[in-house]
Chain A
């Protein structure tokens, strides 16, 4: 007789495929998961509490550390919220700079995802390719603001640094290079039979479930729901550009994979137009009062980060510090569906599904 018993397995907090300090307690019946309980908070730094004692400019570096794979979009959501509240005008050149760095960031973020996802699944070399190409973007950012990850680049009313001479040309040159590499990625991985066997039909859910769970980004669009805040609630200059919102049909990991790669292409398309339209001169900082005091009241804005809707809810009492600052973090909300998806799956699929959601733990825990 074979002795069988339920096995309780701790995945994480220190496990490479959790992409940070995130833990899942899984109950296993053989290799099949019967229950999964995510445990988080290992990276909780109390950003929202800290922000209550900081002025708005001082909060910007904290947003870098929330979604550290896409710090530019997190920078933007805070600045955008404060500007909307105060009715500040942002100079056009500054807004173009922001849009360019945000789209470059989206490409960089999806490259990190693509590389690490394939690494999770067991393909080593795509990771090296992805990081090679991401490095170009990181270097561009480094030239711009002297940091590789935590940029602290945007300010309420504009950006901190203007583009150094030749920077825009470098971005222009990067676009065709990346387009070529994207085709290469597809040739290298997207048709691979082992890869398809690992991700096709895995982690499936329908549009209704996705909406009910408040999923956003590729997680929502993989089910065919056409909801991209750049189109649905245009902010910045997105209404000026032509781009498509890639949609999936099946709501599985494979669709999410294809959407993210296609989003790289669409971002490059936006960048191409933005570089063409980029104003040759102008300020990069608007007229902003010395002390930033949004009027008393509250406001919520959300923008499309590479992971979905990142939102900022500010309650102001007319002081230089927010009375309450709450971030709606896409990784946190998207992760909620994980326990539901894992039931009945195998351990190998746990990695596939978790990776497919694309979380950044700094953002989950905030």
Chain B
């Protein structure tokens, strides 16, 4: 709850601070729309923006004060905690990146096109992080307003680049392994085809992103679905007599670093046939519709995934933490999770 409030607060302040900045220093603001890599050096140059910031500050403060009344009620202690956690994470990520960048430098040169894409994505992420940091710096009330810590920003960027390089290396390695497998028709192929045809006909052509047989898992038919079509597909797979996936065996969440994913393992109690559904979610703002209305089993399972991985399930009747304490900061099963207090 207060998380969202905080985000809102940040967004508001950002939105309000930016026009102010624009008036004072139009050059500084324009690059935000363009690749942030250019914006950062401009902002980081200590002389101009620092001068501009105090000018922007009063307007930002005045306009922020009025509409953000409810947001201002956020527990300051918690806010401080969050901030400390973010800073600690950034610092640690930078240290890690420094250690790893050396060994990854050569590996990164494998697929230039893919790498470039990933890099662009990473840069965009870094830009977003920088913007957020700026907003956080603004509401801290320390008087420095939107002046971003240049060192921190550089660190964040370095970390993002290192991450991109690692991902590229990994992708290249996987790409090598894939084409070696000879394709044989799986015994479960007809079952998969039937499910695919049914969903195409009843839900839509765009519902399925990918359909394959997971041979490792006893030829488990697997469907990767679009998040917004999940509910319709789930309902169909449960109620359609030929499918009858009335029993949800397992619901897992996985952090793949590039994205988050939920996996639903279904079984039909009548025919005994299995099916796995997968839904991918963006890592920044993960949203996957809740399937509690279809299988009630999902209720606590989704709460657990939310608690440990931070995936939101719109439509869930009671989405709150289930294993960790209610005031816990962060999502422990995320790969980049850093405990707020290392003593805990």
Interface residue ranges, A against B (CB under 8 Å)? 40-41, 44, 46, 48-49, 84-85, 211-214, 225, 227, 232-233, 295-302, 309, 311, 313, 315, 323-324, 326, 328, 332-333, 335-336, 365-366
**Chain A proximity of B294: nearest CB distance (Å):** 9
- Sample 20 A-B pairs with CB under 8 A, ordered by A number: A40-B322, A41-B324, A49-B332, A211-B247, A211-B269, A214-B295, A214-B296, A227-B269, A232-B272, A298-B263, A300-B250, A301-B217, A311-B250, A315-B254, A324-B252, A324-B254, A324-B255, A326-B252, A333-B301, A336-B300
- Distance from A228 Cβ to chain B, minimum over Cβ atoms (Å): 11
Q: Does B299 contact A (CB under 8 A)?
A: yes
Checking B174, B272, B276, B295 against A300 with a beta-carbon cut-off of 8 angstroms, the contacting residue is B276
Contact, CB under 8 Å: B218 / A84: yes
Q: Are A298 and B217 in contact (CB under 8 A)?
A: yes
Interface of B is mostly: mixed
Which of the residues A85, A213, A296, A309 comes within 8 Å of B296, measured between beta carbons?
A213
Assembly CA distance A324 to B333 (angstroms): 9
Q: Find the B residue at minimum CB distance from A324.
A: B254
Residues of A within 8 A of B246 (CB): 211-212
Q: Is the CB of A297 within 8 A of B216?
A: yes
User: In the bound complex, do residue B333 and residue A48 qualify as a contact, i.e. CB atoms below 8 Å apart?
Assistant: yes
Contact call A46/B332, Cβ cutoff below 8 A? yes
How far is B332's CA from A227's CA once the two chains are assembled, in angstroms? 34
Residues of chain B lying within 8 A (CB to CB) of residue A48: 308, 333
A225 to B269, CA, bound (A): 9
Compute how far the CA of A300 lies from the CA of B323 in the bound complex, rounded to whole angstroms: 23
Interfacial chain A residues near B323, Cβ < 8 Å = 40-41, 44, 365-366
Min C-beta distance of A273 to chain B, whole Å: 24
How many Å lie between the Cα of A152 and that of B216 in the bound state?
A: 26
Residues of A close to B325: CB separation below 8 A: 41
In the complex, A44 Cα to B218 Cα: how many Å?
32
Give me the 7 closest cross-chain CB pairs, A-B, nearest first: A214-B297, A297-B216, A326-B252, A328-B250, A299-B217, A41-B323, A44-B323
Q: Quick one: given A311-B250, A313-B263, are A295 and B297 in contact (CB under 8 Å)?
A: no
Contacts of A233 in B (CB 8 A): 272
Query: How many Å from the CB of A282 to the closest CB on chain B?
Result: 26
Using A49-B332, A313-B252 as known contacts, say yes or no to A300 and B265 having CB atoms under 8 A apart: yes
Interface string of B320-344 (1 = CB under 8 A from A): 0111110000001100000000000
Choose among A46, A324, A366 the residue with the greatest number of B CB atoms under 10 Å from its CB.
A324
Instruction: Give Cα A212 to B299, complex, Å.
Output: 11
Closest residue to B332 on the A side, CB-wise? A49
Minimum CB–CB distance from B214 to chain A (whole Å) comes to 7
In the bound assembly, the distance between CA atoms of A212 and B269 in angstroms comes to 12
A319 to chain B, nearest CB (A): 12
Question: Are A44 and B297 neighbours in the complex by a CB distance under 8 Å?
Answer: no
B172 within 8 A of A: no
How far apart sit A332 and B263, CA to CA, in the bound complex (Å)?
18
Using a CB–CB distance below 8 Å, which chain B residues touch chain A? Answer: 174, 177, 214, 216-218, 220, 246-250, 252-255, 263, 265, 269, 272, 276, 295-297, 299-301, 304, 308, 321-325, 332-333
A313 in contact with B265 (CB, 8 Å) = yes
Least distance between B74 CB and chain A CB atoms (Å): 24
With beta carbons under 8 angstroms apart, the residue of B218, B252, B297 that contacts A212 is: B297
A326 CA / B325 CA spacing, docked (Å)? 20
Verify B296–A300 contact, CB threshold 8 A. Answer: no
B266 → A minimal CB distance (Å): 10
Report the separation of the CA atoms of residues A299 and B218 in the bound assembly, to the nearest whole angstrom.
Answer: 9
Chain B residues, CB < 8 A from A41: 321-325
Contact A214 B249 (CB under 8 A): yes
Chain B residues with CB under 8 A of A299: 214, 216-217
Q: Which B residue sits closest to A302, measured CB to CB?
A: B249
Distance, CA A309 to CA B321, complexed state (A) = 24
A46 CA to B250 CA, complexed, in Å:
18
Which residue of A is nearest B252, CB measured? A326
CA distance A324 to B252 in the complex (A): 10
Residue of B nearest to A297 (CB): B216
A84 and B214 CA atoms in complex are apart in Å by 13
Question: How many angstroms from the CA of A92 to the CA of B215 in the assembled complex?
Answer: 25
B248 & A214 in contact (Cβ 8 Å cutoff): yes
In the complex the two chains form, what is the Cα distance from A233 to B268 in whole Å?
12
- Assess whether A213 is in contact with B252, with CB atoms less than 8 Å apart: no
Which A residue sits closest to B305, measured CB to CB? A326
User: In the complex the two chains form, what is the Cα distance from A213 to B308 in whole Å?
Assistant: 22
Q: Taking each of A84, A333, A366, which has the highest tally of chain B beta carbons within 10 Å of its own beta carbon?
A: A333
CA–CA, A357 and B297, complex, Å = 15
Contact present for B322 and A336 (CB under 8 Å): no
- Shortest C-beta distance, A140 to chain B (Å), equals 32
Complexed CA–CA distance, A279 and B263 (Å) = 40
CB pair B216 A313 closer than 8 Å: no
**Nearest residue, chain B, Cβ from A41:** B323
CB of B112, distance to nearest CB on chain A (Å): 24
Closest Cβ neighbor of B247 among chain A residues: A211
Q: Is the CB of A302 within 8 A of B250?
A: yes
Establish whether residues A333 and B332, one from each chain, have CB atoms under 8 Å apart when the complex forms: no
| CB atoms of B272 and A298 under 8 A apart | no
Most buried by A among B269, B308, B323, B332: B323
Is A212 touching B296 in the complex (CB atoms < 8 A)?
A: yes
Contact between A336 and B299, CB atoms less than 8 A apart: yes
Which residue on chain B has the smallest CB distance to residue A213?
A: B296
How far, in Å, is A187 (CB) from chain B's closest CB?
Answer: 35
Cα distance A159–B176 when bound, in Å? Answer: 37
